[in-house]
Structure 1
Amino acid sequence: MKKWILAAAISAALTACSASNVSTSLPQGVSLVETVTTTESGVGIPYKKYQLANGLTVILHQDKSDPLVHVDVTYHVGSSRELPGRSGFAHLFEHMMFQGSENVADEQHFKAVTEAGGTLNGTTNTDRTNYFETVPSNQLEKMLWLESDRMGYFLPALTEEKFEVQRETVKNERAQRIDNQPYGRMGERFNQALYPAGHPYSWPVIGWPDDLNRADVNDVKHFFQRWYGPNNATLTIGGDFDEVQTLAWVNKYFGEIPRGPEVTAAPKPLVTLDKTRYISMEDRVHLPLLRMAFPTVYASHQDEAALDLLSNIIGGGPTSLVYKNLVKDGYAVQAGVSHPCQELACQFSIYALANPARGGELSDIEARVLESIAEFEQRGVTDDDLQKAKVQFEANTIFGLQSVKGKVSTLALNQTFFGNPDMIAYDLTRYANVTKEDVMRVFNRYIKNKPMVVMSVVPEGQTQLIAHEDNYVAPAPQIAEQAVTGLETVEAVAPSFDRSIMPTPQAAPMITVPVLWTDTLSNGIDVMATTSTETPTIELMIYLNGGHRLVDVKQAGLANLTASVLNESSQLRSTEELAQALEMLGSTVSFGASTYQSYVKVSALTSHIDETLAIVQEKLFKPGFNSADFERVKQQHLQSLQHMQSDPNYIANSGFDALLFGDNTPLGISSEGTIASVSALTLDDVKGFYQQQYRAGNAQIVAVSNLMQPQLLSKLQGLSSWQGESSALPALAAMPALEAGTVYIVDKPGAAQSVIKIGQRAMPFDATGEYFKSYLMNYPLGGAFNSRINLNLREDKGYTYGARSYFSGGSEQGLFQATASVRSDVTAQALVEFAKEINRYQASGMTDQELAFMRNSVSQSQALDYETPYQKAGFMRRIQRFNLDPNFTQTQADIIRNIPKEELNNLASAKLQLAEMIVLIVGDKANIEADIKALGYPVRALAL
């Protein structure tokens, strides 16, 4: 809930808002609350705010820069509206509301939005639930029809069967995101200790399993009736639309929905602790983790801003005290401090992942954290502390306004929690006015010598590493007799029009590909860029062809390790001094590497691009290659690799690549490397790879900014002195022969889920040939939410939270895979369903209806492809990297419109031969192996 803007940097592009409430001719029952427009000074998001007679708040923000609209419906209900022992309802409803309503058939919501070329989702947190769609602008009326039908006409379509399927889906989501993830159960255990019994934040948003099992369909109906009325909702629309027409549609579709029971604000008593509470947990992890938190205030409290700045000073990055005392000295692999705020409560949160190479004792980590807090008290707050924290926060908000979705989300959030969409200028003032005295005052009031919760998470069997023996046990949960209170009878109103008729979209908008320009620096570096004036920012990427592919497999991880060292000190300044300089600018500079390229990612306010590029050049041309930096970064990398061995998805990805491409090629070994390969790397190796990779001959630049071509080229002249020829890639070793039809099992004892991967090698990337056509072919099988695979395994069977299939390709090789994380007890059944869907599709191909769906969905989705700077940058990079015709999207559009179904089905027949594929499963071997063997598959154990 934090929003900051740097006024001086953006006054020319984002201007402040002045409010008026002058009324114009409006549909009956619609009232104009306020109009907020731009002025010549300050910052803000222009909008108009309306209210319908039934209490629905409507916010309209026009942005005609792209032919799209973003629709958001936010209900002021999250898990905090639930009762003890009745958790999980709000999140369950996020799922239920996609399952059709009286006039929208089962799965039609996803199908309608996807076929319209849009994207959609819903999210739930402690305090609100939102549903949102981004679609081409001609599809707005259809979105309003969909959202209004589930707001006003959901219950007639709610069945016991739908309820049971979605309850299973939620259980699968919990298994995938919590039970089967390292540290997954930490948050819910921690909150039980931090908040009093019965506090609405003391249970997880996803719900306790027993509470989900306790619920019945009538509980769900009552929860909907209590909280999902229009008077507890905000409808926010942003993008390219006609305001008069949009208001008429809003009134038509939402105006007749009856008002729900009245909703009052929840109380916000400050949370306090009587003493420090120690708790601990064993988990299937490698790195011991310490988590600490002090209860503080709540969102928008007068002390929130000062506490935010305090957290930044103590632990907000490489210049902080916690970083210096824990990470810099090698006692922690990672550590940080933050002050997350929710509507009812905030917490001053500290975490550290202990470095086992330094012992891993969490008592030592706790002592060092407390020493850092004491050090802050002694040294106090400096002017630079305040300035860098404010600038960082302020710049972050500008980058958050680069999309219509970002602006709509900001307006909706502020209206929902504070009753005022126009909070940017207020927050700017709030944070700008924080003083040193304010920071010390909140430190003394909420942190110094105050009780806290301290949680230790240690590897199984290593309880000797905990910080302190447990002294707190959460009380047994209470169970409310009823799932809902405050329910009132609301009389249904018959609609005045036939709601069963889906609106027909208007003419499709003209899709405008960004206007690109290309140039070459004097040393031959290609530059491709486009101008975007929506925000006064520059997003710049320096790509260096090579990356992991340039490295001998025996040195796997070298490209990543070199990039990490380049993120550290230069010959002129230390890591901390460079970080401080960037923080004072509100800029970020990050070196990284992937399979085929190394890169430098630069984000800056345009007003600070000269200073930022000077730092880029310092890091790039005068790297420090400090031995202490190298040893620390290498140790962090090794511990990270050990940690990832606890993640079943990482295990599955690395194992599958090794099977397909072999462990003697860089395509078969992760760019992160292995423990053995990284352990053997030296600082001289890093220096050697730097000389080979970071040459002008390997470099290409992509940029999105508000500068014209001559201005940007002038800024880039400092890179013209860069020298060096391009580096040739080594020959790629032969690929291994696949043991087709074999199921490989990686044992993960006790796993709640099995990660399944089915696939084979496939063609490399191309933009308009067989690869692209195979993408179109796969779309109905596993490329969309309502694809055959996902509807079967998730919606029909309830085996998984999500299943899909796709083709992925690089410049040399590609793969096809079908994948899902499924409940451990249905692993064999899920494998059967995957095989059934793939075989059926391979034999018969897509239907005429699926062909029409694919054509509509893929072609219309192009309206969403170029909105944000990074979408534009990604588009340009594809052109650069694969040497594409800048008009390749027009060729793709022609293919989408005209490719015969027979050609696509022939591709399915040729590319989806299940008998030629292998299967990898990461799961509990003891529980799944017998059932898989019973299916007739040859099974092999795979050790990674």
Structure 2
Amino acid sequence: MKPNSLLVLLFILYTGFSYSQNKTGKSEEFKVEFEQFKLGNGLHVIFHIDRSDPVVAVALTCHVGSARETVGRTGFAHLFEHLLFLESENLGKGGLDKMSARIGGSGANGSTNRDRTNYYQTVPKDALEKMIWAEADKLGYFINTVTDPVLAKEKQVVKNEKRQSYDNKPYGHTLSVIDKNLYPASHPYNWEVIGSLEDLQNATLDDVKTFYNRWYVPNNVTLTIAGDFDTKQAKKWVEKYFGEIKRGADIPNIEKQLVTLTENKNLYYEDNFARVPQLNFTWPTVYKYHPDSYALEVLANYLSIGKKAPLYKTLVENKKLTDAVEMYQYDSEIAGQFTLQITAFDKINLNEVSKGISEAFKNFEAQGISQEDLNRIKAQQETAFYNGLTSVVGKGFQLAQYEIFAGTPDYINQDIKNILTVTPEDVMRVYNKYIKDKHFVATSFVPKGEANLALEGATLATVVEEKIIDGKEESFDASIAGTYKKTPSTFDRSTEPPYGQAPDVKLPVVWKKKLSSGLNLFGIENHEVPLVQFQLEIKGGMLLESANKIGVSNMLAQLMTKGTKNKTPEQLENAIESLGANINAYATDEAIFITGNTLTKNYEKTIQLVQEILLEPRWDVKEFDLIKQSTLSAILQQKANPASIGENEFRKLINGEESILSNNNIGTENSVNSISIEDLKSYYTQNVSPSISDFQIVGAISETNVNNSLAGLNKEWKAKNVVFPKIATTKAIVKSKIYFYDVPDSKQSVIRIGYPAMKAADKDFYPATIMNYRLGGGGFASQLTQQLREGKGYTYGIRSSFEGTNNKGSFTIASGVRSNVTYESVALIKEIINQYGKNFNKTDLEVTKEYLIKSNARAFETLTAKLKMLYNISNYNFSDDYTKQQEKIVKNITIEEIQKLAAKYLNTDEMIYLVVGDAKTQLKKLEQIGFGTPVLLNPSTETAKN
């Protein structure tokens, strides 16, 4: 261990956030304290103490993203995000993922963007030393473990991620086309973060090691620790485990590289998965924290979001060309871009959209932005900021972000000041400087065969479409153990540190009350941040719809927030946003939800608006028509997305067509077309009642204040006698079948395997989820992930789960696999399930128990997590301490009980097998599974006839 004199300590206390309220309601300044220091090797460390939960988040952020790559060697930064989880010299094979499963971590994860790569996890506080040891091992004792077989396998995983996230979905190539035309070939933002498949395939072991040795050095890394821990002890651990890692060569700051277009660039592409056309306009702008970036963010918000937005008014309300407008300022470290994205309705010519954009811009130029609207947007930004601080990992991210890109975590003070000082004149100035009459990149992504819908004069964009051929993928053997020379250290790093003192897990205190109207209240008081989050759950949803009118509750939920009796849609929206609040409504299969999130100081005004929304509907015909058109467009787009097709087709197969639950709750084209506004009124009059409703609330507010706030709603909302029809019982599956839905030329096959199972309150439901942890519910701890992703490289991700409510239950395995290993993947999944119970052993049981028990320390960290706890208590009649009861089940469960559960609930001969993929290459091979000839669900396609 190096002496402590090498620690360069710098303590900083910062404020600059808005106020919170204590339990007495008195305002007090909101503070976030942090401490930062540097090791002698350049590692920057930031500590933040938060003792609200017995957890700690550890994040390692490396100042390297795709911008540090070179032409021909793209995708390396993202590749390392994958590699660092696989193995290091002292963690061993499985690395941090394997350890996470034992210590109750949130699931070690990472992300890569243009400018940085980070690795993060939240763990119980007693595992802090383990995490510091593990992160140090990844940084300084990792690269020797990367061998040719390891690299070959992870290339396949990254390729699968690219296929799933870009190549096999609508508009997946859009950003690539934009960036290649917005930035010169020599610019670091010219290529995508995930890189090209060709570059990944050509990457050698020497290339990878060179990249690592240049960028993965302590003087290019920030370590953030946030949560409940002892800072003095943590400093000693950081010095012990990180201190002797060698400093790398000096890394100069990357220079700003703003770009200027000398002409408009107009491109189009016929998208294999698109069903409706999409138009993007992108202008070059400024980098992160540039003085103009703040006004550009306001500009994007004002032009596109809400009823008052010029683009919304013109394109959505007046011309009815689309149902939504998206605009955003994407600022990165050395440059930025400002993008307008519009997904038009079916058969809409994008030239009409372009004309509408020009018209909206002219209206904006004439009217500008008012101080009132600017204040409304700033109020939203304030609430959004606090929402980012409800978890310790969120606080850690925030601190690291400012340190790396602004030079100090304390920049938060200046950042907020910059946001608050934006003026209407600033907004108009940046519009004139960067947008008005300035050159841009236009992209038209249109359905196959509909190039006529693209912008006039557009030229064909260059898009590299991968060809997947059977037997052409690079082979590897993941079972080969790599041999390497261990890096010397001054102490034995091979011994995993012990646990610290076990955390004292305290369940949130729940209060309950039933109002005279029949409305049930459930609450948790928590003063960590000055926020309140709530949801009003009105039971029913699709369950109360007619079979020929599926979609009524979904449309009703959307209409509820489109004005009230005394407020136009625009006035209601402004009232909500001026409070910095969010109020949304949506429907599920079994309920309508009205949700809200607001600053505590604005809670009462927010709940008054909820009452108005609920009791004084506007029934705006114009808004109803827009919702109907938007819903029809969504239905059409789902038909082109393989993942959506998989969900919708599997729902039909698993529930049976006789059950209302076999439907997608947004409806079909026929059902939606048949729905009138009178149908919505009828549903509202008959079924929206406090007698079948629960109000769940968490945050910085007392039970008394909640009760007082709901007094008016309780008095005015009249109870009704709501009758729930009997749901048709799903017929048991006697014999397995394979069903295939043809999507020609798919790069991946979407797989869904499963059957009807238990409802949420069934006595076997939770024990079955315990049983499933090592099968497919435990992420990287699961056998499905280990074998299909880590062992074979077939997939980017796979999971299995038991899901249930009061009305239905199911077991499902879901994945997307490389198209040319569809049969192999299904066969391997079937084999894993068949052997799972028989082979379940002591190690499996120990890993399962350790994770499920220790993870309780972080089970209720965020407001959202606490709200989910209240949902479970209110819907399934769980006791307030149900998590403690579940913990007892975990502690007492045996291998024999797990095996019995597996035998009872994992029968591969009674499951439904669904594949969404390319029938002409994959359908025939699936006969080898042994369930006969697959049933083609859409046999009318030309490809299926071949």
TM class by shorter chain equals: over 0.9
Letter in 1 for 2:183: Y
2:469 aligned partner: none
| Residue 724 of structure 2 is aligned to residue 734 of structure 1 | no
1:59 aligned partner: 46
Is this contact kept in 2: 1:257–1:493, CA < 8 A?
no
1:9 aligned partner: none
How far apart are residue 739 of structure 1 and its match? 5.6
1:156 aligned partner: 144
Letter in 1 for 2:41: N
| Residue 783 of structure 2 is aligned to residue 788 of structure 1 | yes
Is this contact kept in 2: 1:380–1:440, CA < 8 A?
yes
1:71 aligned partner: 58
The equivalent position to 1:399 in structure 2, one of 382, 387, 394, is 387
Give the stretch that moved more between structures: 891-900 or 125-134: 891-900
How far apart are residue 654 of structure 1 and its match? 1.2
Is this contact kept in 2: 1:77–1:127, CA < 8 A?
yes
Is this contact kept in 2: 1:739–1:918, CA < 8 A?
no
- Describe how 1:591-630 pairs up with structure 2 within 5 A: 591-630=585-624
Letter in 1 for 2:171: Y
1:86 aligned partner: 73
- Describe how 1:675-754 pairs up with structure 2 within 5 A: 675-721=669-715, 722-738=717-733, 740-754=735-749
Question: Counterparts of 2:462 and 2:889 in 1: how far apart (Å)?
Answer: 61
Question: Counterparts of 1:288 and 1:474 in 2: how far apart (Å)?
Answer: 18
| Residue 358 of structure 2 is aligned to residue 381 of structure 1 | no
How far apart are residue 663 of structure 1 and its match? 2.1
| Residue 771 of structure 2 is aligned to residue 777 of structure 1 | yes
What is the DSSP-based 3-state SS (H/G/I as helix, E as strand, rest coil) of the residue aligned with 2:4?
coil
1:209-236 residue CA offsets vs partner (Å, 9 max, x unmatched): 1111121111011100010101000000
1:363-409 residue CA offsets vs partner (Å, 9 max, x unmatched): 11011112111211111221122211211112210111111111111
How far apart are residue 738 of structure 1 and its match? 3.0
1:32 aligned partner: 9
Question: Counterparts of 1:730 and 1:191 in 2: how far apart (Å)?
Answer: 53
The equivalent position to 1:102 in structure 2, one of 74, 89, 96, is 89
Is this contact kept in 2: 1:654–1:670, CA < 8 A?
yes
Letter in 2 for 1:100: E
1:459-490 residue CA offsets vs partner (Å, 9 max, x unmatched): 110000001222586799xxxxxxxxxxxxxx
What is the DSSP-based 3-state SS (H/G/I as helix, E as strand, rest coil) of the residue aligned with 1:819?
strand
What is the DSSP-based 3-state SS (H/G/I as helix, E as strand, rest coil) of the residue aligned with 2:331?
coil
RMSD, aligned CA: 1.8
1:788-819 residue CA offsets vs partner (Å, 9 max, x unmatched): 11111000100000112111111132111222
Question: Counterparts of 1:917 and 1:637 in 2: how far apart (Å)?
Answer: 32
The equivalent position to 1:307 in structure 2, one of 271, 285, 296, is 296
How far apart are residue 267 of structure 1 and its match? 1.2
1:479 aligned partner: none
Q: Does the C-alpha gap of structure 1 residues 187 and 691 become closer, same or farther in structure 2, counting only changes over 3 Å? A: same
Is this contact kept in 2: 1:317–1:336, CA < 8 A?
no
- Describe how 1:264-413 pairs up with structure 2 within 5 A: 264-283=252-271, 284-329=273-318, 330-356=320-346, 359-413=347-401
Give the stretch that moved more between structures: 808-817 or 878-887: 808-817
Letter in 1 for 2:114: T
Is this contact kept in 2: 1:258–1:493, CA < 8 A?
no
Is this contact kept in 2: 1:42–1:425, CA < 8 A?
no
Give the stretch that moved more between structures: 148-157 or 417-426: 417-426
How far apart are residue 37 of structure 1 and its match? 5.2
Question: Counterparts of 1:308 and 1:916 in 2: how far apart (Å)?
Answer: 53
Letter in 1 for 2:304: G
Is this contact kept in 1: 2:258–2:336, CA < 8 A?
no
2:504 aligned partner: 510
Q: Does the C-alpha gap of structure 1 residues 384 and 103 become closer, same or farther in structure 2, counting only changes over 3 Å? A: same
Letter in 1 for 2:63: H
1:235 aligned partner: 223
1:402-458 residue CA offsets vs partner (Å, 9 max, x unmatched): 111111110011111112112322122112211222222212211111111111111
Q: Does the C-alpha gap of structure 1 residues 362 and 164 become closer, same or farther in structure 2, counting only changes over 3 Å? A: same
The equivalent position to 1:759 in structure 2, one of 754, 757, 770, is 754
Q: Does the C-alpha gap of structure 1 residues 705 and 473 become closer, same or farther in structure 2, counting only changes over 3 Å? A: closer
2:472 aligned partner: none
1:569 aligned partner: 563
Question: Counterparts of 1:641 and 1:475 in 2: how far apart (Å)?
Answer: 27
Give the stretch that moved more between structures: 359-368 or 122-131: 359-368
What is the DSSP-based 3-state SS (H/G/I as helix, E as strand, rest coil) of the residue aligned with 1:504?
coil
Q: Does the C-alpha gap of structure 1 residues 746 and 372 become closer, same or farther in structure 2, counting only changes over 3 Å? A: same
TM-score (norm 1): 0.93
Question: Counterparts of 2:161 and 2:909 in 1: how far apart (Å)?
Answer: 31
Q: What's the % identity of the aligned pairs?
A: 35
Question: Counterparts of 1:820 and 1:668 in 2: how far apart (Å)?
Answer: 21
Is this contact kept in 2: 1:415–1:421, CA < 8 A?
yes
TM-score (norm 2): 0.93
Question: Counterparts of 1:418 and 1:492 in 2: how far apart (Å)?
Answer: 37
Letter in 2 for 1:230: P
Question: Counterparts of 1:26 and 1:384 in 2: how far apart (Å)?
Answer: 57
How far apart are residue 35 of structure 1 and its match? 2.5
Question: Counterparts of 2:803 and 2:440 in 1: how far apart (Å)?
Answer: 47
1:522-577 residue CA offsets vs partner (Å, 9 max, x unmatched): 32311110111011111111111111122223221111111011121212111111
Question: Counterparts of 2:249 and 2:669 in 1: how far apart (Å)?
Answer: 59
Letter in 2 for 1:442: V
Is this contact kept in 2: 1:696–1:726, CA < 8 A?
no
| Residue 127 of structure 2 is aligned to residue 132 of structure 1 | no
What is the DSSP-based 3-state SS (H/G/I as helix, E as strand, rest coil) of the residue aligned with 2:759?
coil
Is this contact kept in 1: 2:652–2:663, CA < 8 A?
yes
1:5 aligned partner: none
1:314-358 residue CA offsets vs partner (Å, 9 max, x unmatched): 1133321111111123211221222121111221211111122xx
Give the stretch that moved more between structures: 563-572 or 71-80: 563-572
What is the DSSP-based 3-state SS (H/G/I as helix, E as strand, rest coil) of the residue aligned with 2:92?
coil
Is this contact kept in 1: 2:518–2:692, CA < 8 A?
no
| Residue 242 of structure 2 is aligned to residue 254 of structure 1 | yes
Question: Counterparts of 2:115 and 2:143 in 1: how far apart (Å)?
Answer: 23
| Residue 874 of structure 2 is aligned to residue 880 of structure 1 | yes
1:184-215 residue CA offsets vs partner (Å, 9 max, x unmatched): 11111111111111211110100011111121
Question: Counterparts of 1:668 and 1:869 in 2: how far apart (Å)?
Answer: 32
Question: Counterparts of 1:713 and 1:574 in 2: how far apart (Å)?
Answer: 29
1:846-866 residue CA offsets vs partner (Å, 9 max, x unmatched): 110000000000111111110
Question: Counterparts of 2:870 and 2:90 in 1: how far apart (Å)?
Answer: 42
Question: Counterparts of 2:784 and 2:826 in 1: how far apart (Å)?
Answer: 11
The equivalent position to 1:940 in structure 2, one of 931, 935, 939, is 935
Q: Does the C-alpha gap of structure 1 residues 258 and 675 become closer, same or farther in structure 2, counting only changes over 3 Å? A: same
Is this contact kept in 2: 1:44–1:424, CA < 8 A?
no
Q: Does the C-alpha gap of structure 1 residues 935 and 312 become closer, same or farther in structure 2, counting only changes over 3 Å? A: closer
Question: Counterparts of 2:84 and 2:245 in 1: how far apart (Å)?
Answer: 16
1:523 aligned partner: 517
| Residue 527 of structure 2 is aligned to residue 533 of structure 1 | yes
Q: Aligned pair count?
A: 902
Letter in 2 for 1:343: E
2:907 aligned partner: 913
Is this contact kept in 2: 1:394–1:428, CA < 8 A?
no
Question: Counterparts of 1:652 and 1:457 in 2: how far apart (Å)?
Answer: 23
2:448 aligned partner: 460
How far apart are residue 239 of structure 1 and its match? 0.3
Give the stretch that moved more between structures: 433-442 or 791-800: 433-442
How far apart are residue 731 of structure 1 and its match? 0.8
1:488-525 residue CA offsets vs partner (Å, 9 max, x unmatched): xxx99731110000111123211111011112233231
Question: Counterparts of 2:711 and 2:844 in 1: how far apart (Å)?
Answer: 51
The equivalent position to 1:892 in structure 2, one of 879, 886, 889, is 886
Unaligned runs of 5+ in 2: 20-27, 465-484, 940-946
